[in-house]
A and B are shown apart, each in its own frame.
Chain A
Amino acid sequence: MPLTPPAEPDPEPKMNWASFYAVISGVNRHSTGIGRIWLSVLFIFRILVLVVAAESVWGDEKSGFTCNTQQPGCNSVCYDHFFPISHIRLWALQLILVSTPALLVAMHVAHRRHVDKRLYKLSGRSNPKDLEQIKTQKMKITGALWWTYVISLLFRIIFEVTFMYVFYMIYPGYKMIRLVKCDSYPCPNTVDCFVSRPTEKTVFTVFMLAVSGVCILLNIAEVVFLLGKACSKHLHNAGDSTMGAWIQQKLSSF
């Protein structure tokens, strides 16, 4: 999936998301069509938007957080009280954790390839052409790979939902307030503190949550699709063989 990131003044963090993309998109070859759509949505509407837009909105979150007091330290303490962890960091962690189950599939595919290579060598077909073919051949999502794939999808859904829940727990309502009232030490009495860019932050929060919801739906659709495919395959096979033979076939495909 070709993706050219726009030019950025600071190459270091972008390099890491780009190399992360290279690692994750390698798994793409063994995904279903819905899986590829999910990956594109993840990279274009979440990671790219995070890096290109959201990070600059939250960039001045601490320096722009002003409290109506001259008491030193009150700003820091109130900021820490109302923002235990920044939205940007939560989203970065969410994106990293949500992408990693795909690596389970990559590991399984590598393992299968290794086993196939060994079988080829044992059966005498060890010329470089055959071994190259194993590397480039697309694995079918059947047997144990089907289970690995479905488990990775379930983990993805669990991580997404967990992060959305954590988000809701820390920042109830998804809306960024303009004004917070703070009375932690060393603030004298109750002090008004103003959050920087609350409306822009609300817009991006709602956008990121909406895309997160879309990704959850895509993952659920992919699980349903895989289940449907597996069921239809077994029904088709059960049509012309007995139950025992069906079980035997299922076992032999693992």
Chain B
Amino acid sequence: MSWPALYTQLVGANRHATSLGKIWLSVLFIFRVMVLVVAAESVWGDEQSDFTCNTLQPGCENVCYDQFFPVSHIRLWCLQLVFVSTPTLLVAMYVAYRNHRDKRKLLQVAGFLSAKGQDEELETLKKRRLPIAGALWWTYACSLVFRLLFEAGFMYALYVVYDGFQMPRLVQCDQWPCPNLVDCFISRPTEKTIFTVFMATTSSICMVLNVAELVYLVIKLIDRVEKKLIKTLSF
């Protein structure tokens, strides 16, 4: 299981997404997953081996690293990307359930068709694109809300754990077994700050896209309800 496998899963589920949803998926994979794998992982690659403390005391570096970096940025981002991608699978599950239900109905009704005719009908059932209405609308809207919550949650967690998005050059540590107060130096702090800000920015862009998609869905719903009302009133 790897990023490309996740991508294949999401692209399959994305067939029923709106255009904004498709843009969101591209932004997610190109500006976040790709940048994470291709660039950010090598910046954080030596984060522990190059974390140096001004002491010869064994164990002090390990303890100080653990105190200042409870969870690495890279792991937080990987978790964020995995969590943020999974609500789309809710939609895929619902679509699979609908297809299964409609297939059963079809097989009951179209028993008089030849085997070839039945196969063709099943193929059209699989390939059709469901309109985002009714229960699918609610599933989709819920998945968007969950996405927003996960994005915001992880960004907040990163901000709280690391006191902002900036990586300091020097931290002072006095955990046992370090003797008194010891200076510890972080490797590549500027590059890490640049990538943290970049990932936070793309995360915000994704949140804005999700909010826009939610607003669009609500407008579509209002539109549909209006049309229905007009239809019933005109009779």
Contacts and interface: CB of A to CB of B under 8 A. Distances in A.
Contact of B194 (A23, A63, A85): A85
Interface stretch (B26-34, B80-88, B89-97, B149-157): B26-34
A88 B42 CA distance: 10
A84 B185 contact: no
A25 interface: no
A92 B30 contact: no
B119 interface: no
Contacts of A248: none
A148 B162 CA distance: 41
B37 interface: yes
Contacts of A17: 38
- Name B's interface SS: helix
Interface string A78-101: 011001111011001100100010
Contacts of B43: 86, 89
A19 B185 contact: no
A92 B31 CA distance: 11
Contact of A80 (B37, B46, B188): B188
B187 A76 contact: yes
Contacts of A12: 2-3, 37
Contacts of B169: 76-77, 80
A88 B50 CA distance: 19
Contact of A20 (B34, B183, B185): B34
Q: Which one of A15, A20, A76, A83 has the highest number of Cβ atoms from chain B below 10 Å of its Cβ?
A: A76
17 contacts: A12-B37, A16-B34, A19-B7, A20-B30, A72-B53, A73-B53, A76-B52, A76-B187, A77-B169, A80-B169, A84-B191, A84-B194, A86-B43, A88-B39, A89-B42, A89-B195, A103-B26
B81 to A, nearest CB: 13
Given A80-B169, A93-B35, A73 B188 contact: no
B7 A85 contact: no
Interface in A40-96: 62-63, 71-73, 75-77, 79-80, 83-86, 88-89, 92-93, 96
A103 B37 CA distance: 20
A107 interface: yes
Nearest to B127: A128
B144 interface: no
Nearest to B191: A85
B19 to A, nearest CB: 8
Given A79-B187, A89-B42, 17 more contacts: A12-B2, A13-B37, A15-B2, A17-B38, A62-B50, A72-B183, A77-B169, A80-B190, A85-B190, A86-B191, A88-B39, A88-B42, A89-B43, A96-B30, A96-B31, A185-B170, A186-B54
A63 B46 contact: yes
B206 interface: no
Interface string B12-47: 000000010011001000110111011101110010
Contacts of A71: 54
B126 to A, nearest CB: 14
A80 B185 CA distance: 11
Given A20-B30, A92-B39, A75 B189 contact: no
Contact of A100 (B2, B22, B30): B30
A77 B167 CA distance: 13
Contact of A73 (B7, B41, B52): B52
